[in-house]
Amino acid sequence: MTDTDTTPSNDLTKTLGLDQPPSRFAHLRPYLVAGVLLALLIAVLLIWKGKRDNRQPGYQTQEVRQGNLVVSVSATGALQSTNQVDVGSEISGTIKTVEVEYNSLVKKGQILARIDTARLEAQVAQTAASLEAARSKVLQMQATIIEAKAKLARLVQVQKESNGKVPSRAEMDSAIATLDRALADEASAKASVSQAVATLQTQQIDLSKALIRSPINGVVLKRAAEPGQTVAASFQTPVLFTLAEDLTQMELHVDVDEADVGKVRTGQSAGFTVAAYPDRIFPATISQVRFGAKTVAGVVTYETVLRVDNRELLLRPGMTGTATITVNKVDKVLLVPNSALRFTPPVASDQTKQGSGGLVSKLLPRPPSQAPKKNPESEGKNPRVWLLREGKLQQQPITTGLSDGAMTEVKSGLSAGMQVVVDSIEEKN
């Protein structure tokens, strides 16, 4: 019974292979799966790299055209009136009245303000009285001189008649001294008169300056005087009014950089804008390029004066103007973009040498690639551009002229319509 039950079980075990011992390669199955996955990854990388290597550089071109070229210099400054005068007071006192307001049109000699003259008038009266007293003193001294001369003449006559016996020598010396003192007193009295006259004239001038008058024909820009205000003119003259002579003609003072000042000349035309009228360009002409330099934050500039016509009275002193000065202009010349002059193609890469590293060299990490080397033929100082002919680059030397920073004049070497390379791009086969 036991043998009969055991036989079918053994046959089933043999059929299923359960009676066989475990294979010795079973532990290698995970590594085989990892190897298959790695092979798939390598295949994907090779396909991606192949597509990448198929990319070839292309080139962007631009046409050489004919046009006008304007070379300009930009500078910023402030508007000023052609003649601006600060009017102050030379004397101290209290302002009695003010005769003008802001923007008032004034004529030369017109009264702007009056200073209280009560104290000055009293000083003038006192000095006039002193002058009269000095003149009276002169008359008194002149009478004394006449008296001293008459006395001395009598003594001389007596001396002649007495053959020198009388008067005595002391009396003669006293008479002569009296006359000399009278003459000296007369000179002193006359000097006092001159001094009193000078003092009176000074005070009269001060009295006349109590009326503050306009020195020019113009307009009142600023007014710092009010009735009742005390003016103290001691070491510095206080400014009460600021006048502009003629606002229909103004000046724009701009600071030109030292790198551009060599191009700027008197008589060149310019245009400028102000914040008040951003859409309008005002014409101007350079009237002066000053030699004196100004250094601000290490930047050296030279003040340049532009003459401005302001008949419409739209512009006002103090406005900030951004000027564009036309330093040169040429018409109907060949123009090439500056990017074409800067373009330099890289040296062609050796694809065979790069592909000979094998699979491992493609997969293993490499050092960072360096920037492509420049073509040694393009390192020359002479200007040149690159043309694209039949898919290949060809170098073309040219002769250049003026440049405005974006376009450059071509004098020889190119013709209108030619395509010059300005940049390189990547494109697929």
Tens of pLDDT along 339-385?
Answer: 999 988 865 544 444 444 444 454 455 555 454 444 444 444 678 89
- In this predicted structure, what is the pLDDT of residue 365? 52
Does residue 396 register a pLDDT over 60? yes
Cβ atoms of 363 and 350 closer than 8 Å: no
Among 110-124, 213-227, 235-249, name the one with the lowest average pLDDT.
235-249
Residue 341: which residues within 8 A CB-CB, separation 6 or more? 383, 384, 385, 400, 408
CB 246 within 8 A of CB 84: no
Lowest mean pLDDT segment, chosen from 224-228, 246-250, 388-392:
388-392
Domain ranges of the chain: 23-54, 72-82+246-329, 87-239
Q: What is the CATH number of domain 87-239?
A: 1.10.287
pLDDT digits (tens, 9 = 90+) for 48-83: 665 555 555 678 888 899 999 999 999 999 999 999
pLDDT at 178: 92
| Contact (CB, 8 A) for 78 and 304 | no
Q: How confident is the model at residue 372, as a pLDDT?
A: 46
In sequence order, what E strands does 119-233 have?
A: 211-213, 218-223, 230-231
pTM: 0.62
- Residue 258 has a pLDDT of 94
Given this model, what pLDDT does residue 346 score? 67
pLDDT 10s digits, 254-269: 999 999 999 999 999 9
pLDDT of residue 39: 80
Stretch 137-151: mean pLDDT, rounded? 93
Question: How high is the pLDDT of residue 73?
Answer: 93
Cβ atoms 335, 69 nearer than 8 A: yes
Share of the chain above pLDDT 90, in %: 55
> Would the pLDDT of 172 be above 70?
yes
- The answer, yes or no, to whether residue 429 has pLDDT greater than 80, is no
**pLDDT tier, 4 (very low <50, low <70, confident <90, very high otherwise):** very low
Q: What percent of the chain has pLDDT over 70?
A: 81
The whole-number pLDDT of residue 388 equals 83
Burial 32-68 (b: 16+ CB within 10 A, else e): eeeeeeeeeeeeeeeeeeeeeeeeeeebebeebeeee
Q: What is the pLDDT of residue 132?
A: 94
Q: Which CATH number fits domain 72-82+246-329: 3.40.50.2300, 3.40.50.300, 2.40.30.170, 3.40.50.720?
A: 2.40.30.170
Whether the pLDDT of residue 2 is over 60: the answer is no
* pLDDT of res. 20: 53
Element (H, E) at 135: helix 118-161
3 state DSSP class of 201: helix
What average pLDDT is seen over the chain? 83
Dump pLDDT digits (tens) for 290-307.
Answer: 999 999 899 999 999 999
Question: Would you call 343 exposed, middle or buried from its count of C-beta atoms within 10 A (0-12, 13-18, 19+)?
Answer: buried
The pLDDT assigned to 9 comes to 52
- Give residue 382's pLDDT: 77
372-381 tens-digit pLDDT: 444 444 444 6
Does residue 146 register a pLDDT over 50? yes
Cβ atoms 277, 116 nearer than 8 A: no
pLDDT at 238: 85
| More confident of the two residues 370 and 411 | 411
- Please name the helix (run of DSSP H) or strand (run of DSSP E) that holds residue 79, with its range, or none: strand 65-81
